[in-house]
């Protein structure tokens, strides 16, 4: 079978010379033959184990040691962190059962057998070393230690306060699901499992961060995704050596192909339906605990200009909206530069009546068009940032009223001309039509160097700036996938979902560039034909 990842030119980076503390601890705690180092094993003496643990957790007031007796004679202790556990499960399913007098019948049995007979917690794990015990406790589990036992039992009783599932504010839709990811990684994976109910949905977990030990999960559909994509993602994640990961943006910056590109090479989303749709195309999702934003890779420029609602509305409507998005994408990038170039160097391109109108409006302005545009664009960006950072009820009012008041006052004071205010306003509206925030902010940033080129060389400067951007985009890769595919390189069979959105019954094949292990996603012959079965 022909592999679709033939354009995979990304070089695998060498391993970091610095070995993380987590890796070094694992190497120290295991011998070459796989046996556990005796110096790291739990002791038969409960007091020795408790002394080691309390020394490691010195000055940790939230760590709880609940001492009790099992079999009425054997000392035991339950170790957990207050606030990360379900207190009802601890009391009813653990302590009540373990301290019951019925346990006397099992006197002389191992702790593991006692748990099998009496404890009703769903998940238990045997722990043999201090390091494993610390990891389970810090993950929110309760660990049971008993005197005379060389192993402990970690019991999954995790529970902490988290935000409920709500509609994501950054990706609102008129038609579509209303649920969104939260800061809990298990809630997020459950939302994905709810949509993709197959055993081929794989979720491989790892911990990243020497201090935070953040849970990271790689999700993909086995049999659809290309194996080389998953291998490359694992390789890039495993080489990360950092103190902590607090958000998926940390991961994105550490594993992207070109760190100096203004264009995003990962898509981030709060919507489970978006993640599910991308996994069905052969992509990979990266979940990070503590953030609702899930990373999707590889991506293309055209994918970032598509909204999830494109696939919930009818094909003709979605195609029209997609073209509006493309047009306003170019307006957001080029409109101020075109105004600067034409009014400064190429006045002959304007009709006479329009030229006279613009000239009369700019007559009282003391600044050239480039300075006017720069003042208004910087002011508009400042108002937008202020609207985001202020409290929500105040922010929207400040940004709208501020733009109107400042624009009107600037025109009346003769600082800027009225056409410039109109140009900047249309440009701002156009930037809001870009469905992905990370792409929209890239366009806003690129607008300024193109304005400088237009102010120096006119339309020739704009053409040079566009050529530089196109050359960069043609060289850019997202995990080895060409950023402009399927337009460059051209793949005819995938053009049905780029400039237009073909009906679902016509989208029979998955995009070749992402994965072609299982190309057929829709059975042929599903076009509606009234009167025919």
Lowest mean pLDDT: which of 34-48, 242-256, 491-505? 34-48
Please tell me whether residues 54 and 190 are part of one structural domain.
no
pLDDT tens per residue across span 152-198: 888 888 877 778 888 888 888 889 899 999 999 989 999 999 999 99
> Per the structure, how many domains does the chain have?
3
pLDDT tens per residue across span 418-438: 888 889 889 988 998 999 999
Mean pLDDT across 361-384: 87
Residue 224: which residues within 8 A CB-CB, separation 6 or more?
200, 279, 280, 281, 282, 510, 515, 517, 518
Q: Which segment, 23-27, 367-371, 402-406, is predicted with the most confidence on average? A: 367-371
- Give me 108's structure tokens: 């002389």
Please tell me whether residues 275 and 344 are part of one structural domain.
no
Angle at the Cα of 80 (from 79 to 83), degrees rounded to 5?
A: 160
Q: Please name which of 416, 397, 419, 396 lies closest in space to residue 406, comparing C-alpha atoms.
A: 416
Contact between residue 176 and residue 309 where contact means Cβ atoms under 8 Å apart: yes
- Give me 359's structure tokens: 């000239």
pLDDT score, position 102: 63
Please tell me whether residues 361 and 325 are part of one structural domain.
yes
Phi-psi region of 480 (alpha: psi -120 to 50; beta: other; left: phi over 0): left
User: Which has the higher per-residue pLDDT, 464 or 34?
Assistant: 464
**Which of 129, 155, 181 finishes a domain?**
155
Contact between residue 508 and residue 522 where contact means Cβ atoms under 8 Å apart: yes
Domain assignment present for 21: no
**Which of 155, 188, 217 finishes a domain?**
155
Percentage of the chain exceeding pLDDT 70: 86
Domain assignment present for 530: no
Please tell me whether residues 254 and 346 are part of one structural domain.
no
pLDDT score, position 409: 78
pLDDT tens per residue across span 516-529: 677 888 888 888 88
Q: Please name which of 191, 194, 238 lies closest in space to residue 216, comparing C-alpha atoms.
A: 238
pLDDT score, position 384: 83
Lowest mean pLDDT: which of 13-22, 51-60, 220-229? 13-22
Please tell me whether residues 67 and 207 are part of one structural domain.
no
CA pair distance 498, 521, nearest whole angstrom: 17
Helix (H, G, I), strand (E, B) or coil at 429: helix
Please tell me whether residues 136 and 82 are part of one structural domain.
yes
Mean pLDDT across 333-356: 92
Domain assignment present for 323: yes
Which range of residues forms the domain containing residue 319? 315-482
Lowest mean pLDDT: which of 199-203, 381-385, 403-407, 481-485? 403-407
Helix axes 272-280, 185-195, angle to 10 degrees: 60
Q: Please name which of 220, 242, 240, 241 lies closest in space to residue 231, comparing C-alpha atoms.
A: 220
Please tell me whether residues 182 and 103 are part of one structural domain.
no
Domain assignment present for 95: yes
User: Which has the higher per-residue pLDDT, 399 or 449?
Assistant: 449
CA pair distance 230, 366, nearest whole angstrom: 58
Please tell me whether residues 254 and 359 are part of one structural domain.
no
Instruction: Quickly state the pLDDT bin for 360 (edges 50, 70, 90).
Output: confident
Domain assignment present for 467: yes
Distances from the Cα of 54 to the Cαs of 63, 80, 156, 365, in angstroms?
Answer: 9, 12, 21, 73
Q: Please name which of 531, 530, 528, 494 lies closest in space to residue 509, comparing C-alpha atoms.
A: 494
Say if residue 41's pLDDT is above 70: yes
Please tell me whether residues 218 and 251 are part of one structural domain.
yes
- Per-residue three-class SS string for 273-307: HHHHHHHHCCCEEEEECCCCCEEEECCCHHHHCCC
- What is the H or E stretch that residue 34 is in? none
pLDDT score, position 388: 78
First CA to last CA across the chain, in angstroms? Answer: 34
pLDDT tens per residue across span 374-410: 988 988 888 888 877 877 666 666 666 666 677 777 7
Domain assignment present for 302: yes
Provide the mean pLDDT of the chain. 84
**Which of 310, 336, 356 finishes a domain?**
310
CA pair distance 466, 480, nearest whole angstrom: 23
- Parallel, antiparallel, or unpaired: how do β-strands 124-127 and 152-155 relate? antiparallel
Domain assignment present for 356: yes
Percentage of the chain exceeding pLDDT 90: 43
Contact between residue 106 and residue 113 where contact means Cβ atoms under 8 Å apart: yes
Q: Which segment, 20-29, 359-368, 460-469, is predicted with the most confidence on average? A: 460-469
Lowest mean pLDDT: which of 54-68, 272-286, 457-471, 501-515? 501-515
Please tell me whether residues 204 and 100 are part of one structural domain.
no
Task: Report how far Cα 406 is from the mean position of its chain's Cα atoms.
Answer: 36
Helix (H, G, I), strand (E, B) or coil at 127: strand
CA pair distance 45, 58, nearest whole angstrom: 20
522 secondary structure, DSSP code: S
Q: Please name which of 234, 428, 425, 434 lies closest in space to residue 327, comparing C-alpha atoms.
A: 434
Please tell me whether residues 429 and 411 are part of one structural domain.
yes
Domain assignment present for 435: yes
Lowest mean pLDDT: which of 91-100, 344-353, 446-455, 459-468? 91-100
Say if residue 84's pLDDT is above 70: yes
CA pair distance 161, 97, nearest whole angstrom: 26
Give the position of tokens 């304007």. Answer: 350
Please tell me whether residues 78 and 206 are part of one structural domain.
no
CA pair distance 204, 219, nearest whole angstrom: 7
Provide the β-strand partners of residue 347.
Answer: none
pLDDT score, position 521: 84
pLDDT score, position 73: 75
Half-sphere exposure of 167 (CA within 13 A, CB side): 9
- Give me 331's structure tokens: 């307006």
- What is the H or E stretch that residue 313 is in? none
CA pair distance 394, 388, nearest whole angstrom: 10
Instruction: Quickly state the pLDDT bin for 23 (edges 50, 70, 90).
Output: very low
């Amino acid at each position: 079978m022909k592999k679709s990842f033939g354009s995979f030119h990304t070089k695998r980076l060498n391993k970091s010379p610095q070995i993380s503390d987590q890796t070094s601890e694992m190497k120290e705690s295991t011998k070459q033959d796989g046996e556990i180092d005796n110096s790291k094993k739990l002791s038969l003496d409960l007091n020795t184990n408790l002394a080691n643990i309390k020394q490691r957790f010195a000055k940790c007031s939230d760590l709880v040691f609940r001492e009790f007796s099992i079999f009425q004679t054997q000392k035991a202790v339950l170790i957990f962190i207050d606030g990360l556990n379900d207190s009802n499960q601890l009391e009813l399913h653990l302590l009540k059962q373990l301290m019951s007098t019925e346990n006397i019948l099992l006197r002389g049995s191992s702790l593991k057998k006692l748990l099998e007979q009496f404890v009703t917690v769903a998940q238990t794990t045997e722990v043999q070393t201090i390091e494993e015990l610390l990891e389970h406790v810090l993950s929110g589990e309760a660990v049971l230690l008993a005197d005379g036992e060389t192993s402990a039992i970690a019991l999954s009783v995790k529970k902490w306060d988290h935000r409920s599932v709500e509609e994501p504010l950054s990706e609102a839709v008129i038609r579509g699901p209303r649920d969104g990811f939260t800061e809990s990684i298990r809630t997020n994976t459950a939302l994905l499992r709810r949509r993709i109910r197959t055993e081929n949905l794989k979720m491989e977990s790892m911990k990243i961060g020497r201090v935070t030990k953040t849970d990271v999960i790689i999700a993909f559909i086995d049999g659809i995704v290309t194996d080389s994509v998953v291998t490359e993602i694992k390789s890039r994640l495993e080489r990360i050596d950092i103190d902590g990961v607090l958000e998926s943006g940390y991961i994105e910056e550490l594993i992207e192909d070109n760190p100096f590109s203004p264009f995003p090479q990962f898509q981030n989303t709060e919507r489970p339906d978006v993640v599910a749709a991308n996994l069905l195309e052969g992509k990979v999702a990266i979940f990070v605990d503590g953030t609702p934003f899930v990373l999707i890779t590889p991506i293309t420029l055209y994918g970032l200009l598509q909204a999830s609602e494109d696939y919930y509305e009818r094909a003709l409507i979605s195609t029209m909206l997609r073209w509006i998005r493309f047009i306003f994408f170019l307006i957001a990038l080029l409109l101020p530069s075109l105004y600067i170039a034409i009014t400064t160097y190429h006045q002959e391109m304007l009709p006479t009546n329009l030229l006279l109108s613009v000239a009369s409006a700019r007559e009282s302005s003391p600044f050239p068009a480039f300075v006017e545009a720069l003042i208004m664009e910087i002011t508009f960006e400042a108002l937008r940032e202020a609207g985001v950072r202020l409290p929500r009820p105040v922010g929207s009012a400040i940004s709208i009223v501020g733009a109107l008041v400042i624009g009107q006052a600037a025109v009346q004071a003769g600082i800027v001309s009225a056409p410039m205010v109109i140009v900047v306003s249309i440009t701002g509206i156009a930037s809001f039509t870009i469905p992905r925030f990370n792409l929209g902010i890239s366009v806003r940033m690129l607008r300024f160097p193109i304005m400088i080129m237009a102010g120096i060389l006119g339309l020739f400067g704009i053409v040079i700036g566009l050529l530089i951007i196109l050359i960069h985009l043609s060289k850019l890769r997202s995990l080895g996938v060409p950023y402009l595919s399927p337009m460059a390189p051209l793949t005819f069979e995938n053009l049905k979902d780029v400039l237009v959105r073909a009906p679902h019954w016509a989208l029979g094949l998955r995009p070749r560039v992402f994965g072609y292990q299982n190309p057929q996603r829709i059975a042929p012959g599903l076009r509606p034909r009234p009167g025919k079965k």
